[in-house]
Amino acid sequence: MASVSMWLEGARLRTLPAAAAPVIIGAGAAARLGGFSAGKSLLALAVALSLQVGVNFANDYSDGVRGTDDARVGPTRLTASGQVPAKTVLTLALGCFAVAGLLGLTLLWWSGTWWLLAAGITAVAAAWFYTGGSHPYGYAGVGLSELFVFVFFGLMATVATTWVQVPSAPWWLWVSATGVGLASIALLFVNNIRDIPTDREVGKKTLAVRLGQRRSRFTYCLLLVGTYVCFALALKSVSIATTLIAVAALFPVVHLCGAVRRGAQGPALLSVLRSTGFLTLGYGVILAAVFTWWN
């Protein structure tokens, strides 16, 4: 039987800060616009976390039954290890998607924003077909994975969290959403950089595999720079004085870029992955705090 630690690894908790960050920003934006609702914000957060955990278990199942995880460098996966039946992992994934769907429907009913239902259904479909189905787009390496992460875990999660509370989406909200979307792609990229050698062996052609180590590492740094620029612009929209906060934020960006550019490999990239997740969370928390209290 799988240990508790393996179940937690299967849920991939280090990815949850990136799922929470856009919701936190959206809630802070709603406060800045004068329509914050704690209940709606918590529902949106629960939807995002349930969807993220569902994606993680779905990836564990799909990669496991394909044999993609048999030679992985990172933590052992539930399905690939054989310690949990594949059907159990699949049931967990579908259960998380069902929870996300029920909570999402409750939020749409409460806010009356039923037009967002189509976006929610598309998000769940994108989550499953990332590594699921007969032709998973996560194996194509043409940038669809990165695009969908940007759209659903960046733009949609951020703007929709605000919209269900205040029907408004000013430019600074879109800039904030763009930044957290770029950070989420960076999180995906560093994970895929770590797995380049083993993904090549099993024929999983992620964008990182196609670009290779050098260009993938450079791309990761560009994504963090883009995140930083969006962060500074969003702060500037509140006050020139708040842009001073961006100066302190430059140090972790430089540190992470340096670690990746110096060629950290395999398990050493796990700390970069974790730090990138916390950087994304910090991005969201700081912006939300400034949006809420500076005005």
Q: For position 84, what pLDDT does the model report?
A: 84
For residue 167, the model assigns a pLDDT of 94
Between CA 5 and CA 9 the distance in angstroms is: 6
pLDDT at 197: 86
pTM: 0.92
Angle at the Cα of 16 from the Cα atoms of 10 and 22, rounded to 5 degrees: 150
Q: Report the pLDDT value the prediction gives residue 248, as an integer from 0 to 100.
A: 80
3-state helix, strand, coil in the chain (%, to 5): 80, 0, 20
So what's the pLDDT on residue 6? Answer: 74
- Other CB atoms within 10 A of residue 134 CB: 5
Is-contact 45 20, C-beta < 8 A? yes
Tell me the residue length of the chain: 295
Distance CA 152, CA 174 (A): 13
Q: What pLDDT sits at residue 70?
A: 59
- Regions of the chain where pLDDT drops below 70: 1-3, 69-76, 295
